[in-house]
Amino acid sequence: MKDKILKRFQEVFGEADNAKVYFAPGRVNLIGEHTDYNGGHVFPCALTIGTYGAARKRDDNKLRFYSMNFDKLGVIESSLEELKACKEAGWTNYPKGVLWAFEEKGMRIPCGMDLMLYGNIPNGSGLSSSASVEVLTGFILRDFYGFDVSNQDLALIGQYAENHFNKVNCGIMDQFAIAMGKEGHAIFLDTADLSYTYAPIALKGAKIVIACSNKKRGLGDSKYNERRSECEMALEELRKKTEIKSLGELDEDTFEKFQSAIQDDVRRKRAKHAVYENRRTIRAVEALQKNDIAEFGKLMNASHVSLRDDYEVTGTELDTLVEEAWKTEGVIGSRMTGAGFGGCTVSIVKDEAIDSFIEKIGAAYLAKIGYKADFYVVEIGGGPKVL
């Protein structure tokens, strides 16, 4: 892969001297959805698929970007003086946002760069291709200039860029899962204080299968920000009755006791999801520690039901994939993953059932939705690295 990337870099930018090749993973969240901006827990893992990048410093202020995934766009030029988000800049808003965020945080970028990317995460699939590009860019800048930032800081800088440059009010999960990824492990992260532990995922006789609905979504034009503000309003209403900083502080019983403080049925459902999903995530990790994969699977299924009925972020495509999976032999658990409104599902499937899972669900999806779903049997990989 490294040679292929460098060869293309040379074709695009004239020479590849002094260029280095890097990799940052994508992520999948096993459980704990729409909890990260509610002070709750998440349980994502980094994947072995992700974004490859080749980069070299320039001796002027120019920025030249090229993506093998958007070959038709050619080389997109900008400069360190032009770090503003704009629609026409397309995918380059992600690396530009990170350059901007470093400067905002007082780390001056002394010169421009040539950056080429190649991603093997399906685009807009909800496996965090954008967070992968953000963490990759931060990792490259640290490698170039020796900035004193940890991998956790790279996650926070990526999120800062996403929130303030690209104006998507995302939580910390994606960038954290990518920057802190560990091979064979999922990350049990408490987003209230960023404390975390690594949990080994040893699925004896089963694998993680991702089904991509091919229904494109972008967080910016989705209802993501709307869900977030519904939760914020519900929190304000609950705070009239109980002193809490976030929905993640409530357990189910306390929520039921105070839920009448929320004036609107829709907001009450949103808050209920955030509270119950957080508790489910804690219980799912406990189940895993006891090697109770069946219970883990049941909690995944319950997570989907809640995202479908209370949080209302699934849609026909994701529901079809998941509901077909539930009917399929050898499926331990299945749910949508990521923001929703399109994107992917994640399922735990017994080894011997994987082929029929792909065939059966693929056919049912095509028949009902009218276009194909794609399936990926994935491995849990590590964080960003130099190749």
**Closer residue to ligand GLA in complex, CB, 122/338:** 338
Phi, psi of 127 (to 5 degrees): -105, 20
- How far is it, in rounded angstroms, from Cα 115 to Cα 360? 41
**Closer residue to ligand GLA in complex, CB, 34/215:** 34
- How far is it, in rounded angstroms, from Cα 280 to Cα 255? 14
Establish if 277 lies at the interface with ligand GLA (CB under 6 A). no
- The residue among 350, 349, 312, 319 whose CA lies nearest residue 335 is 319
Listed ranges 34-42, 92-100, 290-298, 351-359: which one lies at the site for ligand GLA (CB under 6 A): 34-42
Number of residues that bind ligand GLA (CB under 6 A): 10
> What residues contact residue 57 under an 8 Å CB cut-off, 6+ apart?
18, 111, 112, 113, 144
CB contact burial 104-123 (16+ within 10 A = b; e otherwise): eeebebeebbbbbbbbbbbe
Establish if 36 lies at the interface with ligand GLA (CB under 6 A). yes
Establish if 230 lies at the interface with ligand GLA (CB under 6 A). no
Establish if 12 lies at the interface with ligand GLA (CB under 6 A). no
Q: How far is the CB of 69 from ligand GLA (least distance, A)?
A: 20
Token readout for 304 is 């989907």
Establish if 324 lies at the interface with ligand GLA (CB under 6 A). no
**Closer residue to ligand GLA in complex, CB, 13/94:** 94
Clarify whether 17 is annotated catalytic. no
Q: How far is the CB of 327 from ligand GLA (least distance, A)?
A: 25
Establish if 227 lies at the interface with ligand GLA (CB under 6 A). no
- How far is it, in rounded angstroms, from Cα 47 to Cα 245? 32
- How far is it, in rounded angstroms, from Cα 122 to Cα 274? 28
Which of 33, 114, 134, 237 touches ligand GLA by CB under 6 A?
33
Establish if 134 lies at the interface with ligand GLA (CB under 6 A). no
Burial class (CB in 10 A: 0-12, 13-18, 19+), 100: buried
Phi, psi of 163 (to 5 degrees): -70, -45
Contacts of ligand GLA in 137-176 (CB under 6 A): 170-171, 173-174
**Closer residue to ligand GLA in complex, CB, 170/201:** 170
Distance of CA 250 to the CA centre of its chain: 25
Give the binding site for ligand GLA (CB under 6 A).
33-34, 36-37, 170-171, 173-174, 338-339
Active site residues: 174
